[in-house]
Homo-oligomer: A and B are copies of this chain.
């Protein structure tokens, strides 16, 4: 059990995990290097703990001690209690959710391991917007996708903003990062028996409702970033191109909406 410790010096080295949280470039280098990520807000902190991530420390406004009393009581990591001003000085922003936890990363599983029991998989290529990554994870989890694979240049799902937008869903769906792109689409995904579908607006693609999803025991859905979409080499690796039919002369959905629709359409496989 942790006894909360009041901290009043913004330069206290014990707060190092929480410094300069608004400096995206700095944090996206530092966090993986130091093996941590930041969970923000009561709900997300609880979900990170439930998912088995060890806590390194917690930074709380004193108003939040009661709401998180059980977490504090069970924590073996130190809990630092700070005023709003100090929290803002350290992190660089007004922490309106009042509670931050620095969590220990776990080693990412091997892609083959993640695929072993899966039937419906999302593969993202170069999705490097943290909000979009979080939104896609939230929909993937909610709509029953079994696992997520990331291309080497996808952003970090454990970055604070991704975690927050996902509402903690990044903890619920197993994910791994492919090392060689697009080679691993062949050697790791397709060789494991997955039909690789690429979501694209291309007219020659099969309309999503016409896809015989129930006949596909293992299916991997490839998504590109908002704007550029999938690269030619990713499209070339796909077994089937799939498009969401559009009406009213609209030429695209936003990537979060498109992903949600595709997950809903493919997630129900053979029963």
Contact = CB atoms under 8 A, between A and B. Distances in A.
Contacts of A245: 144
Contacts of A252: 142, 167
A72 interface: no
Interface string A245-270: 11111101110111111001101100
Nearest to A249: B172
A218 interface: no
A226 B268 CA distance: 26
Q: How many copies does the complex hold?
A: 2
A119 to B, nearest CB: 12
A139 B265 CA distance: 16
A87 interface: no
Interface residues of A, number: 32
Contact of A247 (B141, B209, B246): B141
Interface in A157-192: 167, 169, 172-173
Contacts of A144: 245-248
A261 B259 CA distance: 9
A257 B169 contact: no
Contact of A246 (B142, B248, B257, B258): B142
Nearest to A264: B261
Which has the most chain B C-beta neighbours within 10 Å: A256, A259, A264?
Answer: A264
Given A139-B253, A143-B261, A167-B250, 5 more contacts: A135-B254, A141-B250, A142-B248, A256-B256, A257-B260
Which has the most chain B C-beta neighbours within 10 Å: A244, A245, A248, A249?
Answer: A248
Contacts of A169: 248, 250
